[in-house]
Amino acid sequence: MAVCLNRLLSLSARSMSTVGFVGLGNMGGYMAKNLVKAGKDVVVYDVNDASVQDLKSSGAGACSTPSELAARSNVIVTMVPSSPHVQEVFTGSEGLLKSLKPGTLCIDSSTIDPAVSKDIDSAVRAAGGHFYDAPVSGGVVAAEKGILTFMVGGDAEKFDEVKSYLAHMGANVIHCGANGNGLVVKLCNNMMLAISMIGAAETLNMGVKMGMEKKLLSDILGKSTARCWSIDTYNPVPGVMEGVPASRDYEGGFGATLMLKDLGLAELMADGSESPIVFGKMAKQIYEELCQDDKFAPKDFGVIFKKLSEQ
């Protein structure tokens, strides 16, 4: 009876919780909207007021600072570009920690240095809160459809509660172990993704230049041993797939500069663990060269195909 009563009280608390969401970029905007669609009471903050107004028109409340958002929230999801952004959001003069309520559940879906995540975890715990790293995979299309994969690091104690919120934004919510482990998996994933995107772009460019029709080539590769996400789901060749960045001049999607940032974090992780990453380092060098060109740097990371095709 006591167990059932505690579960009912827990479910009731969740239903009354206000979810704060910080970071309304290409991914975060859709994630926050999916929480609103799920019937959650959502308040948002972003440095871009247009993004805040867009969420407000969808039914979310608006906050002027992360501190205000923390004062109004029981659960907080953060989705910002890099380690310095996460540090500022949590520990800045108007950061979340200034007004964080004891017991607040903090879920950071940013892709950052695992060491920084562990520092934020300690700071949140000291303030009486709970912290989980929960980076995502799947891209903007999956964010819009609510079918992301979340890789979660943190104590098992509150994982079910974390999952109850992330399930409104993703199809897969996987506990990876202690804090920081979600980020380890995400950085492994993104290093592999960069390598495979470069391989797909080189292969497709070569095949097209040899006279193959691009859709036919992509279709055959997608049904053969070369099949990968960069071929059959996020093809980098314009005109092959609708709804992917390549179909709209590589606008939106996952930025090349963000991929370069993640490759840098993966390199740090590899160096720290004495893990050889020959192809990982080569991929970082290729994206470094790509991002030196202002024509490519602001685009989705699949723009590597366009760079190769123009050579």
Indicate which residues carry an active-site annotation.
186
Structure tokens at 53: 């107004």
Closest by Cα among 209, 298, 283, 295 to 253: 298
Contact 33, 17 (CB under 8 A): no
**133 forms bridges with which residues in the sheet?**
108, 153
Query: How far is it, in rounded angstroms, from Cα 150 to Cα 45?
Result: 22
